[in-house]
Structure 1
Amino acid sequence: MKFLHMLPAASIVLAAVAFGEEKVATPVVEEKASEQQQKNSVSNKQCAKDDKQCLKPIERIKVVGQRINPISQSSEGSYTLDQKLIEDYNFGNGNLNDLLGVLPGVQYGESAYQSGQVSNIKPPEVSIAGSYGQQSGYSIDGINNNSKLNTSNATADRNLLQDVVGHSQEVFINLQLLDEVTVYDSNIPAKYGQFSGGLVLAKTKNAEQKTQYGFSYRQTAGSFVEYQRFYAPTFSGDDTLPIPDFSKRDFSAYYSTPLNEQSGISTQLQMLESKESFDQLGTYRQQVQKNYNAMVKYHNHLTANDLLTTSLLYAPFDADYFDTNALNSDYNTTGGGLVVTGQWEANRDWGDFDSTLSWRNSTNNKETSSQRLLWAKAEGRNWGEYTDSSVSAEGGYGDIEKIQDTIAFSQDFVLNAIRHRWGYQQFNVGYKLEHQHTQFNRLEDSVIYNGVVISPDINCNGYTVDCVETRYHRPIAELEAELGRPFDFTNAEDVLLFDQNIAQTGQYFQRRQVSPQSNAEAKVNYLSLYIEDEIDWERLTAVVGLRYEYNDFFKNHTLSPRARLKFDLTEDATQAITLGINRYYQGDVASYKLNEAMTPMREEVRKVLNNRPGQWEAAKLTSGYGYEYKDTKTPYSDEITLAYRAQLLGGTLEAKWLNRKSKDSINRVKGFNETGQSVLFGGNDGSSEYERISLSWMANFDNQHVQFNLSHAVSKVDAATFDGKTQTINFDGSRSTLNFDYDDSELVFLRTLTADGNNRDALITRNDLGLERRDFNRPIVANLGWGGEWGAWRLSAAARYNGKQDIIYATNQFESYTEATTICNGCAPSKREYPLYIAGERPAFWLLSGSIKYSFDIFGKDKVVLSFDGENLLNKRTYQIAPKTTGLELGRRFWLGISYKH
């Protein structure tokens, strides 16, 4: 409706009908203003009483009707959720991603349904248009909120060697701060870039015309949750799987007031805290997570045509974790950050423009033990038996500090529409400059000990960390004195007595991988320009745009053509088709530059002479791999979309076909540089394809809303994207060796079921595990949502169906691998241990969530609201536990809350 200020009154009525508004009052014209006066008027901005630019009289047009439903009525592929819908679908932690799942084409990663998610306060990652979480764009009040510190590894494991568990978003914003959320899955305007997936735009609230304040408190706990237990055939029947004990609290407060007729200020504070007890190898211990949101926002109408807005958002995150299957594995992670923004919106005779300056700082840090040891599951080091693991794990991966600083300035110009005899034409142009500085600092050497050797006669020679000697409950001489003879190891009774007397079996490590203390940084500058030309001719609206981007890391000049078309099939605009052909370039390049700057790990071994381990020395393979990106192209996605929309039963029906082909995806090519060091070169041989068909209907009525959507999606990843085989098979086929200098944290076992019913274990990289996982590739997803308000009661519900899919389960177990070659002269044969994952099929399931709110007035106009928010109300299975394994699944759970509003 951007041209309404130039249309005659009768056209306004038609335009309102076209945009789905049911009731339109006859326009009230107080006095016809000149065209120049209409240009000077500013919509949605207050005029100061003494401002001479606030020209009167002007044409007043009053439109009475219902709010437009979430489905866009333009050629853009967007869905907008207002405050009412945000509040109705706030069932979980109250963060942004919890809300997005009600929209078509939005899918959650597997972590969203795991039992640990009930206590986790990080938002679950979501996929929009088949992309990974970090491939979509996130924005708060026009400021980019994407974290370049995150990698896809964070979705697979929480504790990593070369990384800190991150998230696709820099800060986690609470829903109570938001005025509206707009989600794009297709036909995204040329104004937006640096993503190859979808786009999420969050807009925070401004101060109202009257002073408002209030607070709210919500809580859930272990007693509010039902779990479902599942047991492996080998699980002991002497005990039952323990239920986690946790509590999670959500407190928020706000204050909003006008300072005068031109300005106002709003402040909000929110705290989300979770405490949960986990069974760590037979001992219950507590994990604690905290997330804060503090925001101050000030606006000032400098003139009738100028609005200044400044804001400060501080959202830190802190968590204390531990590995449940490893001793001495405590680690603390901190994240989140600070966003400072200044925005100037102005209206001039020639059009509107926005100028925005922002500074963002975020961190992703970890503090933990610097040594990770995979002991043999032997006497004295046998805690791995508790989880049926082949090893007993201990320790952590060392302290890491990751920092991102970003300064950005942008200007967007919307020129006045040009009236032609055949219709209207309007140009939008803009640019953005951004400087980003990211750092990866390993604060200490991190050592992974793998390849243990059991040696009852070992003398540790002063080594205390990576070697243990055999210990006995009673001295051997004392037992032999009681026997009256030395032990006879051909006698079964003597052997049994000797074994029962062992308190600890001697073992030592003869190899280790050291990731040295190091500092890496990446400074990347971005430049983007765009232009869009929108043409309205009778029933046709066509938008053609072009976006130019440049970053000085890849040093690629990219052009993104954007074109979309909308044609009204009927004169009253109740039916329309839209067509789009677009290209989106990936924006996350800082992580690649950090990889290139990191110091590779080094391999060390030691010999044993006379049962005494010697000093650590460089192995034959002295170092791991590095990264190099030369002549690497920027990955991109090409999109074709076709949609049909119709006004039906008071709402909007949409049938959409969407096809995305990702090209030039960066894959890793194994090789060597000029010095002979192993290098993973950045190639552009990767590709993937996503195709979706969806049917949606959404409607807003006087006191309620209804929405339904059904999506069928297929995602394919080309084989060239994968790292491929990690092993080279010998000529006799009996043993194998690694075909590259992988570090031990990079490799995992994936178990699949062969056609003859046997298990096949393949050693693959974590990169390939993520591609095999296809975390978001659910073929069929359906949503049904409803909400309404009747007097003091407000009710809402949402049902979600997830179709069956191929999936990969984590087992918390390890499998052994023996290399064919010896690691050093004089070294004993040894095995290396890697985590085990299982591929399987997850059945379909569906979940029902709902909310009940009751409000009553106190102290005149003040209001108190009592709330109940529940998830999985019918206690359905989510099939998160692999077949024939032991674990917990989340069942029914709910929150209770109270809020006060003035």
Structure 2
Amino acid sequence: MNKFPSLSLFVISLGLASAPVMAEQEEMQADVAEQSKKEKEEDIKDVMVVNASINEVVKPEMITSEDIKNNTIGNGNITDLIRTLPAVQMSNGGMSGNQQGEIKPTKMTIRGANSYQNNFMLDGISFNNDFDPSSDGNGVTATTIESSEQGYYIDSRLIDNIKVYDNNIPVEYGNFTGGVVDITSKRWRYHNGGSVFYSTTRSGWNQVHYDHQIKFSTANNDNSRPSRFQPHYKKNSFGGWFESGITDTLGIVFSASHRESDISAVKFQGLSPELDENNNIVITNKPYQGFKNQTRDADNFSGKLSWYMTENTNADLSINYSKHKDYSFSPKEDHSGNQTDHTGIGGMFELTSNFDMAELSINAGYQQLQDKRTSDQNYFIGFNDYSQYPSASYNSGGIGDLKTTQKSTNLKTKLQFRPIQLSGTIHEPKLGLEYSKTKGIYQRDKDYYRYNFYYLNMGPWMNDYWSTSVFEAGRHSASYTNYAAYVDDTIKYHRLTLRPGIRMDYDDFVKEANFAPRITASYDVLGDGKTNIIAGYNRYYGRNMLIYALYGAQNAGLKNCTGYMDIDDCAPGTEIDENWQHQSDFEGLNSLSTPYSDEFSLGLEQVVLNTLWKFQYVYRKGRNEVISRPKIDNSVVKIFDNSGESSHNSFSISMSNPEPWMLGTTENTLTSSIIWEKNESNKPKNGYASYDPSGRVSKDYVYYNGKVIKASKLPATDFNLPLRLNVELKTQIPDWGLSVYNLLEWHGRRYQAVRYDNKYYNDREHGQMARYEREDFASTLRWDMKVSWAPSFAYGGSVSLEIDNVLNKKNVTDRYAYYNSNREMIIANSYDVGRQFWLQLNYDF
């Protein structure tokens, strides 16, 4: 029975509204107009519901399951798949061929934002690591565990697809200033079957390029960078997935993979200081001990249970587990081994129900991320011999046991209305609510000591002495709750489509309500769907990192003692008393605001024959970015504030043919893009709490390339590829069971701001400031290829060969400072990977 007699609801089938169906839309509009006329004649209100979706104003970049199967995938990480997208840039250091034994995801930026300000999502729930995953530039430290922005190190071969939103991002996505990487896992689709794979590579299949000023040997690694050089390694990975129906409407998908890398490294040799049972120093001369493996292991397990409850209601329950183990050691310090375990485990539930007027979706999730470091020797001892020239130091020990844990609870609901005809316009409203609670724990289970003994042997007028630091055991926690609400409406009026919306976020750490307006417009110039102008203004608020709430915990138990007057005051075994000093070195964490970015974009999409061309300009202005600075001149106390700012300008032209073009019996798909990009920032992009070691450096000005300039005008120190060209060609030869993928990447000449050895410049007007140099880099060219063969007689079996850098080009990607045995600083080149082969075997069943 109709509860509203004055309101007639009509359902009109539209099909999919896309460029090829504009004629059908016009017929629909004509039908709507005719129906509206009849309703007016009958004095009935003009409102109707339409069972179809209006054209998406802006579509995300999409990586399909077919792309994942055919493209080069390298280590199998998500970042390996999306690195060629126009808005994505990889870290310069992440492209280094010096560390080809690693299997962790490479850091990346979207639209020039900080690498840790992207939102990674799996089946609608974020899995971001909100502890500091970025290096501060000083290598491995005692106070942090260098991790990754991603809470799960997902194997890309186990997922269904990836959507990347990089501009004009809808209101249902929040907590980022860069972009959104939305991953969908495999789901049961009424089939029984699966796939298994095995892949391998090794250093013998890799032509390594390195700077010959430096001996490319693990013997040159040190305690802060124990894995800088990796000349010998071997990688293997295997896994698979299967799906099976349990009943006619209930099915499961299970996925698992294991990836491993063994990196052969020389063991310690030389003088090793240790403490005996009486806490006396004993120095042992250890001879050459051969080689030992540094190891990397990554495991992924996931299961998804899908229930097609009714024709209109579906439910999914999934569990995900990811673990990465890293064991590293330095050849220059005895007992320096450290194992770091990164673990992510979580469960998610999703319910989707379709009604006549709307679709309701509910997502709930819980996850726990943990980074744990265990040292072979939980103390460090350094013997510094100044009785001779040159002086010498002998070290032993690791950087201490440490554990961080992040627990997150999420609940999201979204109501997506079906298109409604209202007075000549079509509306598609959407609204949603979100709740999340995040708790972080910083934990040190036992005291960690760093002992340094200074042997002077200069007689009674200058005693030998100890300098000792202790990080006392303790457990610190912090939590915050975030609430969000959003609403938007996609409005279509003739050739114009508008999507105005607003998102509100509030969390009880900052205690501010952040309103993010977002509006995007699209105009179909000729009315045939082939020429569209797209423009937008959008604001994106970032996340409040746990590292800010827990920053004080890093040094909360740090106490220092220097025994100038009495050598025994700070010696090993001495009780901690008034001689041990502790001082807080920070302020301002309780008055921070949320960083945000304002975006302006303008684009044109043009269909030419069987190709789609996109011309796009994006400008972003980053504001309220957190930065640390001295409290006053010559102060070691640092204040955190929101004076950081950045800017991003980019223009791109991309072309693709959505439908393959035929050449003989081959099917060919071409995708290409050229991107110009410029990024500037007054803060480095290498950590939430990045701070200059001197504690006195100016935050407003820097000395760059012989001039004093505003810090906000400093060129990017990383992610600095201003001109890029990517060409991807996929060729299928069905008769032969062959698939060939080619990728060409060209990077133009560029310059980059670099700072070696924390250099400074003193200026009369602006005081002490960071000193940067300009480094110029030549253009680079890289050609990657993958050939896959799946012959019919193999009954599902296939083999593929990936070749990175087919031409073996010697491409310089970065430069770094290195100190040789004479403690002379060398500026060395870092090169992209040389020619490398990957072999993979697959069996689909």
Q: TM-score range by the shorter chain?
A: 0.7 to 0.9
1:660 maps to 2:660: no
Please state how far the C-alpha of 1:229 moved relative to its aligned partner. Answer: 3.8
1:901 maps to 2:834: no
Q: Give 3-state SS (helix, strand or coil) of 1:147's partner.
A: coil
Code of the residue aligned with 1:803 in structure 2: it is G
Code of the residue aligned with 1:164 in structure 2: it is I
Separation in 2, partners of 1:308, 1:173: 23
In structure 1, which of residues 78, 81, 89 is the aligned counterpart of residue 63 of structure 2? Answer: 81
Alignment-derived partner of residue 339 in structure 2: 332
Alignment-derived partner of residue 648 in structure 2: 690
1:856 maps to 2:791: yes
1:872 maps to 2:805: yes
How big is each residue's C-alpha offset from its partner over 1:586-637, in whole Å with a ceiling of 9 and x where there is no partner? 1133221111444162231102569998768767964351444233211111
In structure 1, which of residues 160, 169, 186 is the aligned counterpart of residue 150 of structure 2? Answer: 169
Q: 1:130 to 1:395 in 2, by over 3 A?
A: same
Separation in 1, partners of 2:17, 2:650: 33
Code of the residue aligned with 1:268 in structure 2: it is S
RMSD: 4.1
Q: Give 3-state SS (helix, strand or coil) of 2:330's partner.
A: coil
Separation in 2, partners of 1:852, 1:152: 35
Unpaired runs of 5+ residues, structure 1, are: 22-37, 44-71, 385-389, 460-505, 728-737, 741-749, 761-767, 817-835
Q: 1:329 to 1:620 in 2, by over 3 A?
A: closer
Code of the residue aligned with 2:605 in structure 1: it is R
Q: Does the 8 A contact of 1:690 with 1:716 survive in 2? A: yes
Code of the residue aligned with 1:682 in structure 2: it is F
1:533 maps to 2:489: yes
Please state how far the C-alpha of 1:649 moved relative to its aligned partner. Answer: 4.0
Alignment-derived partner of residue 544 in structure 1: 500
How big is each residue's C-alpha offset from its partner over 1:461-513, in whole Å with a ceiling of 9 and x where there is no partner? xxxxxxxxxxxxxxxxxxxxxxxxxxxxxxxxxxxxxxxxxxxxx99654333
Code of the residue aligned with 1:165 in structure 2: it is E
Matches within 5 A, 1:580-619: 580-598=536-554, 599=556, 601-607=558-564
Q: Does the 8 A contact of 2:49 with 2:421 survive in 1? A: no
1:225 maps to 2:212: no
Code of the residue aligned with 1:142 in structure 2: it is G
Q: 1:381 to 1:622 in 2, by over 3 A?
A: farther
Code of the residue aligned with 2:673 in structure 1: it is N
Alignment-derived partner of residue 447 in structure 2: 445
Code of the residue aligned with 1:266 in structure 2: it is V
Alignment-derived partner of residue 464 in structure 1: none
Code of the residue aligned with 1:149 in structure 2: it is F
Code of the residue aligned with 1:778 in structure 2: it is L
Matches within 5 A, 1:308-387: 308-368=315-375, 369-373=377-381, 375-376=383-384
Q: 1:807 to 1:448 in 2, by over 3 A?
A: farther
Separation in 1, partners of 2:212, 2:101: 22
Q: 1:623 to 1:611 in 2, by over 3 A?
A: closer
Q: 1:351 to 1:840 in 2, by over 3 A?
A: same
Q: Does the 8 A contact of 2:606 with 2:612 survive in 1? A: yes
Alignment-derived partner of residue 638 in structure 2: 680
How big is each residue's C-alpha offset from its partner over 1:101-153, in whole Å with a ceiling of 9 and x where there is no partner? 11102100123212344211111011101012210111011110111123322
Matches within 5 A, 1:486-885: 510-598=466-554, 599=556, 601-607=558-564, 622-671=582-631, 679-702=637-660, 703-718=667-682, 727=694, 774-791=717-734, 792-807=737-752, 840-858=775-793, 862-879=795-812, 880=814, 882=816
Code of the residue aligned with 1:553 in structure 2: it is F
Q: Give 3-state SS (helix, strand or coil) of 2:607's partner.
A: strand
Q: Does the 8 A contact of 2:76 with 2:156 survive in 1? A: yes
Separation in 2, partners of 1:842, 1:397: 36
**Count of aligned residue pairs for this structure pair:** 744
How big is each residue's C-alpha offset from its partner over 1:774-822, in whole Å with a ceiling of 9 and x where there is no partner? 22122112211111210210000111123344457899x9999xxxxxx
Alignment-derived partner of residue 281 in structure 2: none
Alignment-derived partner of residue 130 in structure 1: 112
Please state how far the C-alpha of 1:357 moved relative to its aligned partner. Answer: 1.1
Q: Does the 8 A contact of 1:596 with 1:627 survive in 2? A: no
Q: Does the 8 A contact of 1:375 with 1:381 survive in 2? A: no
Q: Does the 8 A contact of 2:754 with 2:774 survive in 1? A: yes
Alignment-derived partner of residue 455 in structure 1: 456
Separation in 2, partners of 1:752, 1:287: 39
Q: Give 3-state SS (helix, strand or coil) of 1:630's partner.
A: helix
Q: Does the 8 A contact of 1:806 with 1:842 survive in 2? A: yes
In structure 1, which of residues 258, 271, 278 is the aligned counterpart of residue 265 of structure 2? Answer: 278
Q: Does the 8 A contact of 2:100 with 2:230 survive in 1? A: no
How big is each residue's C-alpha offset from its partner over 1:736-771, in whole Å with a ceiling of 9 and x where there is no partner? xx759xxxxxxxxx999869xxxx9xxxxxxx99x9
Q: Does the 8 A contact of 1:696 with 1:708 survive in 2? A: yes
Code of the residue aligned with 1:712 in structure 2: it is W
Q: Does the 8 A contact of 1:77 with 1:188 survive in 2? A: no
Q: Give 3-state SS (helix, strand or coil) of 1:572's partner.
A: coil
Q: 1:711 to 1:611 in 2, by over 3 A?
A: same
Separation in 1, partners of 2:210, 2:570: 46
Q: Does the 8 A contact of 1:601 with 1:625 survive in 2? A: no
Separation in 1, partners of 2:238, 2:477: 37
Q: 1:380 to 1:539 in 2, by over 3 A?
A: farther
Q: Give 3-state SS (helix, strand or coil) of 2:169's partner.
A: coil
Give the TM-score taking structure 1 as reference length: 0.75
Q: Give 3-state SS (helix, strand or coil) of 2:792's partner.
A: strand
Of residues 516-525 and 77-86 in structure 1, the stretch that sits farther from structure 2 once superposed is 77-86
1:106 maps to 2:88: yes
Q: Does the 8 A contact of 1:707 with 1:786 survive in 2? A: yes
Matches within 5 A, 1:477-488: none
Please state how far the C-alpha of 1:290 moved relative to its aligned partner. Answer: 0.5
Give the TM-score taking structure 2 as reference length: 0.80
Q: Does the 8 A contact of 1:91 with 1:851 survive in 2? A: no
Separation in 2, partners of 1:296, 1:708: 36
Q: Does the 8 A contact of 1:604 with 1:617 survive in 2? A: no
Separation in 2, partners of 1:187, 1:107: 19
How big is each residue's C-alpha offset from its partner over 1:245-274, in whole Å with a ceiling of 9 and x where there is no partner? 211011012211222331211111111111
Alignment-derived partner of residue 216 in structure 1: 197
Please state how far the C-alpha of 1:227 moved relative to its aligned partner. Answer: 1.2
Q: Does the 8 A contact of 1:596 with 1:629 survive in 2? A: no
Of residues 123-132 and 772-781 in structure 1, the stretch that sits farther from structure 2 once superposed is 772-781
Identity %: 19
Separation in 1, partners of 2:22, 2:291: 58
Of residues 252-261 and 886-895 in structure 1, the stretch that sits farther from structure 2 once superposed is 886-895
Alignment-derived partner of residue 239 in structure 2: 252
Q: Does the 8 A contact of 2:210 with 2:216 survive in 1? A: no
Separation in 2, partners of 1:127, 1:646: 28
How big is each residue's C-alpha offset from its partner over 1:360-413, in whole Å with a ceiling of 9 and x where there is no partner? 11111111244345554779999x9xxxxx865543221110111111111110
Code of the residue aligned with 2:360 in structure 1: it is F
Separation in 2, partners of 1:773, 1:378: 41
Code of the residue aligned with 1:107 in structure 2: it is Q
Code of the residue aligned with 2:432 in structure 1: it is G
Separation in 2, partners of 1:378, 1:851: 57
Alignment-derived partner of residue 181 in structure 2: 200
Code of the residue aligned with 1:276 in structure 2: it is I
Alignment-derived partner of residue 97 in structure 1: 79
Q: Does the 8 A contact of 2:782 with 2:807 survive in 1? A: yes
Q: Does the 8 A contact of 1:40 with 1:347 survive in 2? A: no
Unpaired runs of 5+ residues, structure 2, are: 1-8, 25-47, 221-227, 270-289, 661-666, 761-770, 818-825
